[in-house]
């Protein structure tokens, strides 16, 4: 899988970008500009920026067209709504970079992100996928926690949980193409499925550095459609086990039993509960306790009551509990 670490030239004689950044967006006029600007501020500049508008009905299209006239690296494609996996496959089919960097329209990349990932892929010729950690932010951009799963056994840990955020991964396009891209019957979890399939044919690397910000979006699949995502993840893991045993899986017979909806926000109570959980995971007990108290004043809840009591635990106990949880989930 050895690649030259210099850029190539296309048939017009023009130097091709080493990296193609690919974003898919649907009705995200509020967060879109911040996400785009974070890519345009990268210290690594040898990239093209492909943005696929997946049939937005708000002002997303206008924002994208405005940016495409300001920076020649930005290439915008407007499609009918087809879902994230299909629009991502379309965007990557238009990419000419050797490496593909993904970012969601509501997330942020720190300026060093692309350079960090390019350096690793350039040096590791058998390395096909890299990704780092992220600060967790709320819908107003406040940092409420960190998602930075650390493990020395990436491939094993990945079998049990998704250790990457889509918005801070970079992978080799040749490997992506050889695997057939994202599998579109997975309307969510398509990223996790791809990471597993890449890990079965090449090396992967989890970077233990914070590369950006992951937004806790009330309408994101991870929260608003959590039950569906958990169900999909079960099939994704099952198919990975099948491939390891017999070289193929039952994806061709897979038929999702539910229809996902875009931007169906979770309730304010659920959203604040998640914020409190992430704050507690970051040992910001006082802030988490205040949120729990406000929620309990509105409605008595067993779950929130347990969370409230946990905010009184000493930091040393919380760290021990987190260590044990990670020891089990990340398979050190």
Residue 330's pLDDT band (cuts 50, 70, 90): low
Backbone φ and ψ of 288, nearest 5°: -65, -40
pLDDT at 150: 86
| Chain segment 75-132, per-residue pLDDT in tens | 999 999 999 999 999 999 999 999 999 999 999 999 999 999 999 999 988 999 999 9
Q: Residue 33 and residue 262: Cα distance in Å, rounded?
A: 20
Position 262 pLDDT exceeds 90: no
Indicate where the chain has its CATH 3.90.550.10 domain(s): 19-253
Q: Could you count the other beta carbons within 10 Å of the beta carbon of residue 112?
A: 16
pLDDT of residue 293: 95
- Is CATH 3.40.50.2000 the right assignment for the domain spanning 19-253? no
Over residues 169-220, the pLDDT tens digits come to 999 999 999 999 999 999 889 999 999 999 999 999 999 999 999 999 876 6
């Amino acid at each position: 899988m050895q690649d030259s670490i210099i850029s190539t030239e296309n048939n017009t004689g023009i130097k091709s970008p080493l990296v193609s950044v690919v974003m898919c967006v649907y009705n995200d006029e509020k967060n879109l500009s911040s996400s785009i600007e974070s890519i345009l501020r990268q210290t690594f500049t040898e990239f093209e920026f492909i943005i696929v508008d997946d049939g937005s009905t708000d002002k997303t299209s206008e924002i994208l067209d405005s940016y495409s006239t300001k920076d020649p690296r930005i290439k915008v494609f407007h499609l009918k709504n087809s879902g994230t996996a299909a629009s991502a496959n379309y965007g990557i089919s238009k990419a000419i970079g050797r490496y593909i960097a993904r970012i969601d329209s509501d997330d942020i990349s720190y300026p060093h992100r692309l350079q960090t990932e390019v350096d690793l892929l350039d040096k590791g010729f058998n390395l096909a996928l890299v990704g780092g950690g992220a600060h967790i932010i709320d819908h107003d951009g406040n940092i409420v926690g960190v998602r930075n799963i650390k493990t020395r056994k990436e491939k094993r840990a990945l079998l049990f949980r998704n250790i990457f955020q889509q918005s801070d991964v970079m992978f080799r396009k040749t490997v992506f193409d050889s695997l057939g891209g994202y599998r579109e019957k997975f309307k969510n979890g398509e990223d996790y499925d791809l990471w597993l399939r890449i890990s079965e044919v090449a090396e992967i690397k989890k970077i233990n550095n914070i590369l950006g910000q992951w937004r806790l979006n009330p309408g994101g699949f991870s929260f608003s459609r959590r039950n569906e995502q958990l169900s999909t993840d079960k099939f994704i893991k099952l198919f990975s086990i099948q491939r390891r045993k017999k070289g193929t899986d039952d994806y061709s017979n897979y038929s999702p039993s539910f229809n996902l909806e875009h931007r169906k926000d979770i309730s304010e109570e659920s959203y604040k509960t998640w914020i409190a959980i992430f704050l507690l995971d970051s040992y910001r007990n006082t802030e988490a306790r205040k949120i729990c108290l406000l929620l309990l004043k509105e409605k008595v809840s067993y779950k929130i009551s347990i969370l409230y009591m946990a905010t009184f635990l000493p930091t040393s106990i919380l760290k021990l509990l987190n260590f044990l949880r990670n020891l089990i989930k990340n398979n050190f």
